[in-house]
Structures are given as structure tokens and as C-alpha cells.
């Protein structure tokens, strides 16, 4: 008895455009993508890999507490200096912006690891896709921050010669710094998304032998 040989995925190569046969591959418990020639890891394999690297969660929280504690601290100090007759509520915005920007990454990592240990495939996939949603949420916060900053004035929001309980931090100046950094980060994120989409569309077509 002769078994049917495995089909190979064609791929063009060489200067003459000859078609070369590439044998099917597998990566761990993954599946072979015949259209793109890529090994796609299954959800179960991804969950197992995340559980093996669960030590990253306490490390992420510890690193955040040690290295980034000053970010919300500055935001809260500056928010306390906002005058009551300020045109926009930049005091609340600074507090929210400072906390979200610091706690978002470790919270997302915790959700992904928790879903992996719970064995819930739906929650695991949903938590993994939340990175894009949270990045878009940060972009929205940057846009709202620019609106708040443009709708306020120095005279109505901060008194430089007045008494400041914690530190002499101008809230509008601090907000401007965070908005510039957030704009640069959001621009890099959008550029990466566009580049990835362009790469997928360019390599999306399968090659058939001529």
C-alpha cells in the first residue's frame, strides 16, 4: 500500500520566478497557515505559554510601583493647584490621566494571565484584544486633553504666586507635557497599525504554480 504524499505549499523563488515546494510545518501545538506559510499557534498553546511566564505579572506591578509612582503623584499635586474658576475640569482629568497611563499595562497583563489560568478561552482572546481597545482609549484621552488645554487659560486655572499645598506645579504646563508625549506615542501606535495592515494586505494573496 502506498500512502498519498503530503501536499507542499508552493512558493516562488529565484530570479526566474520558479515555484519551489515548501513542506508543511508546525510550531508546537499550532496550525500551519497554507496561504501565508506561517505557523499559527493555537489558543491552548498560547495559554500554556502565558501561564509559564506568569511571573511577569508581579514583576510588572513591582516595576510600575518603583519606577512610575511619580507620574500620578505629579498629576495629583498639579490637580490640587487648579483654581475653582478654571474653564474646564482639568483637575479631574489630570488625576484620571495619571492613573490610567500608569496602571493600564499591568492591569492588562493581569487580566490575560488570570484568563489563562482560569482556562477560559473566550476571556483569554478578549483580554488579548483589549490592547488595541485601550490604545484607542488613550488616543481619545489625548484628544480630550487637547480640547481641555485649548479651552483653558493660565489666569483662570493657576495662580503662580499663591499658596500651593504640595508643590509649585503649573497644571496646564504639566498637562501640555503629557499631551505632547501622548500624541507622540499614539502616532507611533497608529503608524505601527497601518504598517502591519499594509504588510498583511501585501502578503495576503496565495501563490499558485503557473
146-169 residue pLDDT tens: 999 999 998 999 988 777 777 889
Residue 26 included in any domain: no
Residue 3 included in any domain: no
Residue 10 included in any domain: no
Residue 1 has pLDDT above 60, yes or no: no
CA angle 121–137–117, rounded 5-degree value: 20
What pLDDT score was predicted for residue 40?
A: 59
- Rounded CA separation 43/146 (Å): 40
pLDDT confidence band for 200 (50 / 70 / 90):
low
Report how far apart, in Å, the C-alpha atoms of 82 and of each of 50, 96, 100, 125 are. 43, 15, 20, 42
Higher pLDDT, 132 or 86: 86
Residue 85 has pLDDT above 80, yes or no: yes
User: How many other β-carbons are positioned within 10 Å of the β-carbon of residue 76?
Assistant: 16
- Rounded CA separation 72/185 (Å): 18
Residue 3 has pLDDT above 70, yes or no: no
Residue 151 included in any domain: yes
Q: Using an 8 Å Cβ cutoff, are 47 and 55 in contact?
A: no
Residue 101 has pLDDT above 90, yes or no: no
Arithmetic mean of pLDDT, 118-125: 82
Residue 67 included in any domain: yes
User: What is the percent of the chain with per-residue pLDDT over 90, rounded to a whole number?
Assistant: 27
Residue 174 included in any domain: yes
> Out of 113-122, 133-142, 158-167, which region has the weakest mean confidence (pLDDT)?
158-167
pLDDT digits (tens, 9 = 90+) for 165-181: 778 899 999 999 999 99
Residue 207 included in any domain: no
Residue 140 included in any domain: yes
User: What is the percent of the chain with per-residue pLDDT over 70, rounded to a whole number?
Assistant: 75
Burial tier of 19 (Cβ tally within 10 Å: 0-12, 13-18, 19+): middle
Return mean pLDDT, the chain. Answer: 77
Rg (CA), the chain: 25
- Per the structure, the count of domains in the chain is 1
What pLDDT score was predicted for residue 144?
A: 92
Q: Using an 8 Å Cβ cutoff, are 80 and 175 in contact?
A: no
Q: Helices 171-202 and 121-150, interaxial angle, to 10°?
A: 130
Residue 14 has pLDDT above 60, yes or no: no
Q: Using an 8 Å Cβ cutoff, are 90 and 171 in contact?
A: yes
| The three grid cell numbers given for residue 63, joined into one nine-digit string | 516595576
| The three grid cell numbers given for residue 130, joined into one nine-digit string | 483589549
pLDDT digits (tens, 9 = 90+) for 22-77: 444 444 444 444 444 434 577 788 888 888 888 888 888 999 889 989 999 999 99
Q: Using an 8 Å Cβ cutoff, are 205 and 15 in contact?
A: no
Segments forming the whole domain that contains residue 150? 43-158+168-201
Amino acid at each position: 500500500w502506498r500512502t498519498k504524499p503530503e501536499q507542499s505549499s508552493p512558493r516562488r523563488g529565484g530570479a526566474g520566478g520558479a515555484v519551489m515546494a515548501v513542506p508543511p510545518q508546525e510550531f508546537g501545538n499550532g496550525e500551519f497557515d497554507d496561504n501565508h506559510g506561517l505557523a499559527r499557534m493555537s489558543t491552548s498553546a498560547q495559554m500554556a505559554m502565558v501561564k509559564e511566564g506568569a511571573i511577569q505579572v508581579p514583576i510588572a506591578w513591582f516595576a510600575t510601583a518603583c519606577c512610575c509612582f511619580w507620574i500620578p503623584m505629579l498629576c495629583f499635586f498639579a490637580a490640587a493647584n487648579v483654581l475653582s474658576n478654571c474653564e474646564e475640569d482639568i483637575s479631574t482629568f489630570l488625576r484620571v490621566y495619571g492613573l490610567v497611563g500608569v496602571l493600564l499595562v499591568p492591569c492588562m497583563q493581569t487580566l490575560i494571565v488570570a484568563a489563562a489560568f482560569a482556562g477560559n478561552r473566550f476571556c483569554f482572546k478578549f483580554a488579548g484584544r483589549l490592547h488595541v481597545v485601550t490604545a484607542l482609549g488613550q488616543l481619545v484621552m489625548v484628544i480630550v486633553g487637547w480640547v481641555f488645554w485649548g479651552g483653558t487659560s493660565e489666569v483662570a486655572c493657576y495662580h503662580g504666586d499663591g499658596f500651593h499645598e504640595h508643590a509649585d506645579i503649573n497644571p496646564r504646563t504639566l498637562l501640555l507635557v503629557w499631551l505632547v508625549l501622548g500624541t507622540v506615542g499614539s502616532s507611533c501606535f497608529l503608524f505601527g497599525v497601518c504598517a502591519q495592515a499594509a504588510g498583511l494586505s501585501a502578503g495576503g494573496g496565495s501563490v499558485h504554480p503557473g
